[in-house]
């Protein structure tokens, strides 16, 4: 064999060895490190699913009226920008134009409610209406509907006492022509704040507490899927709150978080409040439920949107009062979690009339099947 041929054979052998080494390395990468990444992703997914929410309350001794960031959380990471879900104005969409004008006026100055004395002045916006025979009745009905929608949409107004709010219609007569003005203001008591929050400082302290806690939930769920967010918030609230009807703040988000006690209304409101803060549409649904004795009793639960479908969650019934020695099992904790109409209507009945003389509102149409 000639010298040149031997050289070619050696080169071919070396090239073959190098190629084999490269192929082996590629194989190991694909079936070794690649598998490790895949396993890590799976573990992270499982960890996100299993990790429960853990929050620490703020030190209210450090609260400074007007000086704290109302809603400033304890996390060192910036709170992500989350679009406000459409559910924050869900019932607003069902009002007539008069009701929407009133609702808009309230929402534009929503932060002024905490003063307890702010007067919402609509000027002469309803002057033409009030010159008609039925104008006064129409305005009163629209006001009640707007107020009902506003309080069901804006659950963070837990410090306002609706019984202390009044619609005032006045007129001036110049040259025989009446000009009507309309305001919404406190009744004779002079303040429309809830008795548990008698001053603006009390309101701001409560707001600070609630948002401080919820900011931590936002931080701890921002990388989760929508389902994981809902599931983790649901479990956290059940483990954090116990059912109670005697607490003075049992029906609002503040009582649920600070006192860790709530009635069915308080459970529903804190669930809606937290879910909307993490970007999930959620509405309040009042009605009746069949209790263990087969009787109907007043109740409230939630409908939330998941993957373009609406489902029911009754967090109060998922956190039942246990007898001594009883344990809340995982299955029992999700008995009324993400249910469809086929299941829900066996025990729950909606009621779209929120107040004695209010309009009848419609609810989202939920999926027939459970999630």
Domains of the chain: 83-154+160-186 (no CATH), 200-350 (3.10.620.30)
Q: What is the pLDDT of residue 336?
A: 96
Distances (CA, A) of 333 to 229, 244, 317, 336: 16, 17, 8, 8
Beta-carbon neighbour count of residue 141 at 10 Å? 17
Q: What is the pLDDT of residue 188?
A: 79
Distances (CA, A) of 307 to 49, 310, 311, 363: 18, 8, 10, 18
Report the half-sphere exposure of 325 (CA within 13 A, side-chain side).
Answer: 0
Q: What is the pLDDT of residue 66?
A: 66
pTM for this entry? 0.82
pLDDT tens-digit series, residues 215-254: 999 999 999 999 999 999 999 999 999 999 999 999 999 9
Give me 91's structure tokens: 């019932």
Give me 19's structure tokens: 């190629």
Q: What is the pLDDT of residue 50?
A: 53
Q: What is the pLDDT of residue 269?
A: 97
Q: Residue ranges of the chain with pLDDT lower than 50?
A: 3-49, 71-78
Q: What is the pLDDT of residue 2?
A: 52
| C-alpha to C-alpha distance for 275 and 282, rounded to whole angstroms | 7
CB crowding 85-118: b at 16 or more within 10 Å, else e: bebbbbbbeebeebbbbbbbbbeeeeeebbebee
| C-alpha to C-alpha distance for 139 and 286, rounded to whole angstroms | 25
């Amino acid at each position: 064999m000639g010298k040149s041929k031997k050289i070619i054979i050696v080169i071919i052998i070396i090239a073959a060895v190098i190629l084999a080494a490269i192929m082996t390395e590629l194989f190991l990468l694909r079936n070794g490190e690649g598998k490790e990444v895949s396993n890590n992703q799976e573990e992270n997914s499982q960890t996100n699913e299993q990790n429960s929410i853990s929050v620490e309350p703020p030190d209210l001794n450090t609260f400074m009226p007007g000086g704290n960031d109302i809603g400033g959380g304890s996390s060192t990471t910036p709170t992500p920008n989350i679009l406000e879900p459409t559910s924050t104005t869900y019932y607003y969409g069902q009002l007539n134009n008069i009701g929407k004008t009133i609702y808009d006026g309230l929402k534009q100055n929503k932060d002024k409610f905490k003063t307890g004395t702010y007067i919402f002045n609509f000027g002469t916006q309803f002057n033409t209406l009030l010159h008609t025979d039925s104008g006064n009745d129409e305005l009163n009905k629209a006001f009640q509907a707007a107020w009902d929608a506003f309080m069901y949409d804006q659950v963070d107004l837990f410090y306002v006492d609706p019984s202390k709010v009044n619609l005032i219609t006045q007129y001036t007569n110049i040259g025989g022509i009446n000009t009507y003005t309309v305001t919404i203001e406190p009744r004779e008591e002079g303040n429309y704040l809830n008795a548990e929050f008698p001053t603006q400082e009390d309101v701001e302290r409560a707001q600070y507490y609630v948002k401080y806690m919820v900011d931590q939930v936002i931080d701890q769920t921002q990388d989760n899927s929508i389902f994981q967010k809902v599931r983790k918030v649901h479990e956290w609230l059940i483990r954090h709150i116990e059912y109670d009807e005697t607490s003075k703040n049992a029906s609002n988000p503040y009582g649920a978080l600070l006192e860790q006690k709530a009635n069915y209304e308080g459970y529903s409101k804190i669930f809606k409040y937290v879910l909307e803060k993490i970007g999930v549409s959620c509405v309040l649904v009042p009605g009746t439920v069949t209790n263990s004795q087969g009787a109907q009793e007043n109740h409230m639960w939630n409908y939330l949107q998941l993957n373009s479908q609406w489902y029911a969650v009754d967090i109060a019934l998922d956190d039942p009062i246990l007898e001594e020695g009883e344990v809340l099992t995982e299955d029992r904790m999700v008995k009324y979690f993400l249910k469809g109409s086929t299941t829900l209507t066996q025990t729950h009945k909606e009621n779209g009339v929120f107040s004695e003389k209010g309009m009848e509102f419609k609810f989202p149409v939920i999926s027939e099947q459970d999630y």
